[in-house]
Amino acid sequence: MRATILLFVVGAFASCDKDPDHTNEALFYQSCKAGEAFVINEIQVNNDDGTTNYPVNVDASLNIVVNFTNTASHSWDNVVAKADISRYTDIFGHCSWIGIPTFGLTDHLDGCNFLSQPLCPIPPGVSLIKDKVDLQRFQAILNILNVDEPYRVTLSFKSGDTELACAIIETKIRKGGSG
Ligand SMILES: *[C@@H]1O[C@H](CO)[C@@H](O)[C@H](O)[C@H]1NC(C)=O
């Protein structure tokens, strides 16, 4: 009986994808809705020396590069961002993204003033953001993250009632040290 259960568990774990969207190798991003005003062209998280910060060290400042296109013919102001976070977890071989608590820290973020330079109004065409982002204000969330699992951040940007972009970022993380 015990051996049967053990076999079942081992077999079930073996069928679980341990590398969703190749997050063992690199940060993954994609749009979650087609036809929205903002199209993401590229997202990078780099170290100070320009090399890729992967898995992303959430205890260090993140050098982010975001290249996106505002496909609308006008600019946008009053951009509000919201982030949901899920962890990829394996329950007896059934893997799925399961939401984690964000303590209200990732709702109603001021998208225009989140970074060191004001972003708004966001003009039509390509915008390239290069900035250093510090995640300390999300420390309560970082404290519950586990370095072994990939995480998915679903970002939604709105101006008024219009959703400008919904984007999914998936990444593995590291903690500690300066790099
Ligand atoms: C931003 O993305 C656009 C569209 O892919 C590309 O044409 C442009 O070269 C990129 N800009 C930079 C600075 O990477």
Q: Which atom of ligand 1 is nearest to the CA of 65?
A: 14
Q: Which has more pLDDT, 151 or 94?
A: 151
For residue 2, the model assigns a pLDDT of: 54
Residue 48 in this model has a pLDDT that exceeds 50: yes
11: which DSSP letter? H
Say if residue 11's pLDDT is above 70.
no
Q: Name the closest-CA residue to atom 10, ligand 1.
A: 67
Q: What is the mean pLDDT of residues 77-98?
A: 92
Which pLDDT tens digit goes with each residue over 110-150?
Answer: 999 999 999 999 999 999 999 999 999 999 999 999 998 89
Ligand 1 centroid, distance to 40 Cα (angstroms) = 10
Does the structure show a pLDDT above 50 at 164? yes
pTM score, whole prediction: 0.87
Kindly state the DSSP code that residue 2 receives in the 8-state scheme. H
Ligand 1 contact, 41 CB (< 6 A):
yes
Kind plus residue range of the DSSP H or E element containing 162: strand 162-171
Ligand 1 neighbour 78 (Cβ under 6 A): no
Give the integer Cα–Cα distance in Å for 109 and 96.
Answer: 27
Count the alpha carbons within 13 Å of 76 in the hemisphere toward its beta carbon.
26
Domain ranges of the chain: 2-174
Query: Contact at 8 Å (CB) between 38 and 162?
Result: no
Per cent of the chain over pLDDT 90 is 79
CA-closest residue to ligand 1 atom 5? 41
pLDDT of residue 5 exceeding 70: no
- Residue by residue, DSSP assigns 144-158 as T--TTS-EEEEEEEE
Ligand 1, atom 14: closest residue by C-alpha: 67
Is 91 near ligand 1, meaning CB less than 6 Å away? no
Q: Does domain 2-174 have CATH number 2.40.30.10?
A: no
Mean pLDDT estimate for the chain = 90
Dist. CA 29–CA 163, nearest whole Å:
18
Cα 57 from Cα 25, distance rounded (Å): 14
* pLDDT band, very low/low/confident/very high, at 10 (cuts 50, 70, 90): very low
